[in-house]
Amino acid sequence: MCGITGYVGADPALPIISDGLSNLEYRGYDSAGVALVDEGLSVYKRSGAVAALREILPESAAQQRGIGHTRWSTHGPPTDENAHPHTDEAGRVAVVHNGIIENYESLRAEVSECTFTSETDTEVIPHLIARELAAGSAPRDAVQTVADCLAGSFAIVVAIAGVEQLFAIRKDSPLVIGHGESGMFLASDVTAFLEHTRTVTYLEDNELAELDSDGVSIYRGEDAVAVEREQLEWEADAAEKGGYDHYMLKEIHEQPRALRKTLSGRFDLDSGAVTLDVDLPSEYLNSIEEIQIVACGTSNYAGRYAAELFESLADVRTTVEIASEYTFSGGRDPWRTLVVAVTQSGETADTLSALRRANRAGARTLAVTNTLGSTVTREVEDSVFIRAGPEIGVAATKTFASQVATLALLAVFVGRERGALSSTDAIGVLESLRGLPGAIQQVLDLEDEVRLVAEEYAESDAFFFIGRRLGWPVALEGALKLKEISYDHAEGFAAGELKHGPLALVTDRTPVLAVLTDGSRPKETLNNIKEVQARSAPVIGASSFDGGSSYLDVEWDVPAIGVMEPIVTNVYWQLFAYHVADLKDRSIDQPRNLAKSVTVE
Ligand code: AGP
């Protein structure tokens, strides 16, 4: 996955493009580059993060058009040469690209007379466009003709020296247009230009946008299509650090606010009713035999939490699949199977591919996502938005909490529609959800204590997270967070499984972090804590459970709010991971080798 951006308007393009790249850096940080355009092209590009690029950018530049790119490498290592933008031989056409051109080798053969300077799949595009221009094509026609030859997924932005317009086209990769007062913006994600405008147009697959300083025209082949504008609700400072050292820490602290937005207006505590803007008729919900959740990483763990809730609240068999392993098989009846894709970005290739398999089989599909206009929302019958606001840190934090909260609402909704959940029990779950923001705030207020514990244990050999039932996905998520940002060895286990193997790893240098809350069978987990204590492991427990204290080296209180307590526990895990990583001076917002959303399978 990469981030691409563009601007054409009345203001100098350079600061707009470079600030946009900083906001898109979560999408890739192997290299970055900018092309500024007037009668010629000025291209600056460098391996490494946007900060490295800034060292070679001029202090100021007059050009009012430009494009930019931040890269997560797929074809070719992260070198200066492989950084985008890529240009033709004459240096007239510059292209930034997000996605993969599957047929780039055969296309390269078509322009074999050109000298290629990179190993990327992208560089063939400016050479091909230059060939079309040399043959007399108008700029838009040249871009369209070349796009028609590309196989694979792409969002590309093209700038041409001496041409006042920027051109953009997409297929299976995101691209959004911003309508600003000073000009027009383009980006993979609105966070690139949120400080300039919140009026946007999402480009659809195979649409070509032609932007100049006055506006945008959109074409599908030869035909002009209407430009639909949307107004985003995200606040202009949503993609800024707001005084925190890292986006991740800001996003951890944003959880109470994000959750209030997730929940706002979606339930009635008196009746236990849930209102979600989805078309899932009662008749259909009563006919389903199974819910299949498909997701990756943190979203998969949110799905595992939800699976417990669907089974217990809605009385429906629920399976959770790692999206890259998913097949629609096992004798399932597609008419009686609801497939729910959980994806923060809405762009994860593995999840989209799983969804397409479900669609092909004829199953009904639903997306739970944070991202309006994302690819997933175009491929499902219904979408439910988690409303967490932009998440820039590569490690998912607030979106996990908001995903679980949204899925819990969905479980109550399905449970009520199926007649499986009494209003009293529904109200119990909704009370717990209502208590979640306040309970998380109580944990956030204890951050200094968590940091002290992180200092004590940061140099451990490994970290093991354990939990049962609803505590298990939270153990998995705690370990994922720690390994992602600290690079320490961390594993999550179903607590009962420890004695079946992992116990062999436990020593006095492997802290065990345990979930001891409502919904996580704390009494049974205590037995596992005793087992690790007998092997001298230090135990850190996040607990709402009376009776565990004497077995814990560190005890963190979890406010008693019922079924959502493990999500509160997770906030301790997030703060612990953050501070361990911070003590080690890791690149917290952009951990090595990772990207925020992974758009390759
Ligand atoms: C979480 O910290 C990771 N960045 C990663 O596991 C992520 O959750 C996964 O790639 C799925 O992304 P999605 O929710 O955007 O589909």
Convert the pLDDT of each residue in 243-271 to its tens digit. 999 999 999 999 999 999 999 999 999 99
Interatomic CA distance for residues 229 and 209, integer angstroms: 14
Mind listing the pLDDT tens digit for each residue in 150-191? 999 899 999 999 999 999 999 988 899 999 999 999 999 888
Q: Whose CA is nearest to atom 2 of ligand 1?
A: 395
Choose the catalytic residue: 2, 45, 398, 483: 2
DSSP summary character for residue 89: T
Phi, psi of 4 (to 5 degrees): -125, 150
Percent of the chain that is helix, strand, coil (3-state, to 5): 40, 25, 40
Helix (H) / strand (E) element for 37: namely: strand 31-37
pLDDT score for 26: 80
Phi, psi of 444 (to 5 degrees): -60, -35
Interatomic CA distance for residues 278 and 413, integer angstroms: 10
Ligand 1 atom at minimum distance from 399 CA: 14
| Banded pLDDT at 534 (limits 50, 70, 90) | very high
Q: Tokens for 199, please give them.
A: 């009026």
Interatomic CA distance for residues 7 and 50, integer angstroms: 17
β-pairing, 273-274 vs 290-295, is unpaired
| Banded pLDDT at 240 (limits 50, 70, 90) | confident
Rounded to the nearest integer, the mean pLDDT of the chain is 95
Interatomic CA distance for residues 159 and 167, integer angstroms: 7
| Banded pLDDT at 294 (limits 50, 70, 90) | very high
2 is catalytic: yes
Mind listing the pLDDT tens digit for each residue in 310-351? 999 999 999 999 999 999 988 899 999 999 999 999 999 999
Q: Tokens for 412, please give them.
A: 């109550």
Interatomic CA distance for residues 533 and 464, integer angstroms: 13
pLDDT score for 598: 82
Cβ pair 125, 109 in contact under 8 A? no
DSSP summary character for residue 137: -
Phi, psi of 336 (to 5 degrees): -115, 20
- Residue with the bigger pLDDT between 278 and 1: it is 278
Which of 176, 198, 2, 190 has the alpha carbon at shortest distance from 86?
2
Is the pLDDT score of 114 beyond 80?
Answer: yes
Q: What is the mean pLDDT of residues 214-243?
A: 87
Q: Tell me which amino acid residue 485 is.
A: I
Is the pLDDT score of 572 beyond 70?
Answer: yes
Which of 144, 103, 146, 148 has the alpha carbon at shortest distance from 121?
103
Is the pLDDT score of 228 beyond 80?
Answer: yes
pLDDT score for 138: 97
| Banded pLDDT at 236 (limits 50, 70, 90) | low
pLDDT score for 321: 97
Q: How far is CA 331 from the centre of its chain?
A: 32
Mind listing the pLDDT tens digit for each residue in 27-64? 888 899 999 999 999 999 999 989 999 999 999 999 99
296 is catalytic: no
Q: At how many degrees (to 10) do helices 423-444 and 398-417 cross?
A: 170
pLDDT score for 591: 93
Q: At how many degrees (to 10) do helices 423-444 and 297-314 cross?
A: 150
If one residue of 173, 299, 600 were mutated to test the ligand 1 pocket, choosing by the most ligand atoms within 8 A of its CB, it would be: 299
- Residue with the bigger pLDDT between 220 and 29: it is 220
Mind listing the pLDDT tens digit for each residue in 71-103? 887 777 889 999 999 999 999 999 999 988 999
Furthest C-alpha separation in the chain: 81
Q: What is the mean pLDDT of residues 224-243?
A: 83
d(CA 24, ligand 1 centre) in Å: 16
Mind listing the pLDDT tens digit for each residue in 377-435? 989 999 999 999 989 999 999 999 999 999 999 999 999 999 999 999 999 999 999 99
CA dihedral 363, 369, 372, 375 (to 10 degrees): -50
Q: The dihedral of CA 207, 210, 215, 219: what is its sign?
A: negative
If one residue of 348, 398, 404 were mutated to test the ligand 1 pocket, choosing by the most ligand atoms within 8 A of its CB, it would be: 348
